[in-house]
Amino acid sequence: MEYDVIIIGAGSVGVPTALATAKNGLKTLVVDSLPSVAQGDNKHAIGGIRATHSVKSKIWLCQRSIDIFSSWKDTYGDDIWWEQGGYCFLAFTDQDEQILRNTVRQQKEYGLNINYIGPKRIKELIPGIDNTNLKGGTFSPEDGNSSPLLALHAFFRKSKEFGASYTFNESVMSIKTHNKEITGVKTNKSEYKAQTIINAAGAQAKNIGKMVNIDLHVAPESHEAGITEPVKKFFSTMVVDIKPATDKKFGNSKNYYFYQNKEGKIIFCLTPDPNFPGLDRSETSSFLPQITKRMVRLLPRLKSVKIRRTWRGLYPMTPDGNPIIGRVDEIAGFINAVGMCGQGFMLGPGLGELLCRIITEKLTSKDLQMLEELAYGRNYYKIEDLK
């Protein structure tokens, strides 16, 4: 019952972290209160994977994640529905055009393959788009998408092959310490010893932090998504419309985004305005009228496609839109991997390897830059442009 590392949470971050730690020979235990792997908000993710961020830490982590997703089938044989269709952010206003042009310059400095493109190229990427008032946009061809369900179960199986252990239907009740050092955890079923604990508890991360008197700046909010029937494939890129919309009847919204997966189904999501704080995963009656009007206006050929289902999941948000990663001064052996802001699936594989390097003390100069940017004690009031 003694381990090198205990990971709290078997989701988008916990499972790839277990894969990395077990692969590196660390005796690893993952504890989750739900019945099986990926039963939290991983199953609510729509599958987009992008390095198109505006802070270097997330760019670098997601670039490594893309390496792992894109090579997984060749390396391990599992088809996780990886498709490298890229991401296209659209600009319909002068202000949005300026934001995207500025972020492109910054992203290139951090090694991202991205360019600002004109309406003609966008029409090639998104056939049938209504380009009225379209200024242009960005395109990052190395971004893509994968199935959250297939990918996480593949990571889960491989982590177990490397020796990781999992226990489900088991809730962490307290974290045991001695002289401000981690010694283990107590659950509703047992006790486990370890000198390192990783908090990867998603929407419940704040509660885990409280067990060691850490006040984490993580507050869940809910977002809705949906999926259509399959239709003949006609585009591959993730389309991101960043302009806000006013809807007096069904409610305002910020950005929305969608793509067509390998089965031909169109998966879509929207950011409401204002946001919906809290843990409520109940679907709303306003979501479909909000997003379908926007999608059909942008891409009229979608008007006859039938929607199969919708769902609602949680984004554990931080004030600046960036995760909280790394050790804390207050308690030795406690590591945070929380506040993914709805990007846990894309960050997970790269982040898992970083967390492993923290434990094994093999950090690179690049790692130290990322950890400084994402530290628990940072300034949370510099908001990421593309959060």
Instruction: Kindly state whether residues 168 and 204 are assigned to the same domain.
Output: yes
Instruction: Kindly state whether residues 156 and 281 are assigned to the same domain.
Output: no
Instruction: Decide which of 299, 316, 333 is a domain's last residue.
Output: 316
Mean pLDDT value of segment 102-129? 96
Confidence check: pLDDT of 29 > 70:
yes
Instruction: Kindly state whether residues 61 and 205 are assigned to the same domain.
Output: yes
Amino acid in position 254: K
CA 199 vs. chain centroid, Å, equals 16
Backbone angles phi and psi of 288, in degrees to 5: -60, -45
Mean pLDDT value of segment 180-205? 97
Distance, in Å, from the CA atom of 352 to the CA atom of 194, rounded to the nearest integer, reads 18
Instruction: Kindly state whether residues 163 and 293 are assigned to the same domain.
Output: no
Q: Where residue 302 falls among pLDDT bands split at 50, 70, 90? A: very high
Residue 81 lies in a domain: no
pLDDT for 200 equals 98
Amino acid in position 262: K
Helix and strand counts by DSSP (H, E) for the chain: 9, 21
Write the burial class of residue 347 (CB in 10 Å: 0-12 exposed, 13-18 middle, 19+ buried).
buried
Instruction: Kindly state whether residues 213 and 330 are assigned to the same domain.
Output: yes
User: How many domains, in total, are found in the chain?
Assistant: 2
Averaged confidence pLDDT in the chain: 96
Mean pLDDT value of segment 172-189? 98
pTM comes to 0.96
Share of the chain above pLDDT 90, in %: 97
Instruction: Kindly state whether residues 168 and 70 are assigned to the same domain.
Output: yes
CATH (domain of 91): 3.30.9.10
The domain of 20 spans: 2-75+148-218+320-373
Residue 129 lies in a domain: yes
Instruction: Kindly state whether residues 226 and 101 are assigned to the same domain.
Output: yes
pLDDT for 385 equals 66
Q: Which helix (H) or strand (E) holds 219?
A: strand 219-230
Mean pLDDT value of segment 65-83? 98
Instruction: Kindly state whether residues 166 and 299 are assigned to the same domain.
Output: no
Q: Of 116, 161, 153, 113, nearest to 136 (Cα)?
A: 116
Mean pLDDT value of segment 94-120? 95
Instruction: Kindly state whether residues 68 and 200 are assigned to the same domain.
Output: yes
Distance, in Å, from the CA atom of 124 to the CA atom of 172, rounded to the nearest integer, reads 51
Q: Are 154 and 78 in contact (CB under 8 A)?
A: yes
Segment 331-341, tens digit of pLDDT: 999 999 999 99
Segment 240-298, tens digit of pLDDT: 999 999 999 999 999 999 999 999 999 999 999 999 999 999 999 999 999 999 999 99
pLDDT for 1 equals 86
Residue 231 lies in a domain: yes
Q: Where residue 306 falls among pLDDT bands split at 50, 70, 90? A: very high
Cis peptide before 300 (omega within 30 of 0): no
Instruction: Kindly state whether residues 228 and 306 are assigned to the same domain.
Output: yes
Distance, in Å, from the CA atom of 306 to the CA atom of 173, rounded to the nearest integer, reads 45
Distance, in Å, from the CA atom of 87 to the CA atom of 158, rounded to the nearest integer, reads 29
pLDDT for 386 equals 65
